Amino acid sequence: MKVKSIILSFLFTCLVSFSFAQLAKIRIEGDWGRPRHDCTGFGICGLRISVGFGTLSEVRLSSDQGTVIMDVPLALTKGYEKQFSGSVFQADEEYQIPSDICKALGAKKQLFIRAGKHDMKKTEVGYTIYFKQ
């Protein structure tokens, strides 16, 4: 009985922790490139909310909703070293963030990744990109 109680407490703690984490950020899968050019070139070709485990990016929305912040693990940049070099992330065309992701982020309006250069910082585990709205 005591073991059962410990297991239930652990599961409840995990559930509460997971729910709290979901309020702050969401996990996504993405493709790099330009949508109109078969995902070639520079930019974001597609984003999808992901459920499960593995190497996934995390997306956050700043508290003033003025910036979409994307944390990209190093493993997801393999093969795209040119895109992830320097201090800017180049998006060659605008990308509309899907409405389910906007809703999950708690956005009050539709979000976009505008064409152009966006600040990017290298971190210990990958890159953080700041997309101003």
Rounded to whole angstroms, what are the CA distances from 51 to 30, 37, 43, 72, 117?
13, 28, 23, 16, 30
Residue type, 99: S
- The CA-to-CA distance between both ends of the chain, in Å, stands at 53
Mean of the pLDDT values across residues 83-105? 92
pTM value is 0.68
Q: What pLDDT sits at residue 108?
A: 87
Of 21-25, 28-32, 72-76, 116-120, minimum mean pLDDT range: 21-25
What are the structure tokens assigned to 71, written together?
A: 């944390």
User: Which pairing describes strands 126-132 and 67-73: parallel, antiparallel, or unpaired?
Assistant: antiparallel
**pLDDT (tens digit per residue) in 4-47:** 333 333 333 333 333 333 334 677 777 888 888 888 888 888 88
pLDDT at 7: 33
Amino acid 23 reads L
Confidence of residue 53 (pLDDT cuts 50, 70, 90): low
Backbone angles phi, psi at 92, to 5 degrees: -75, -20
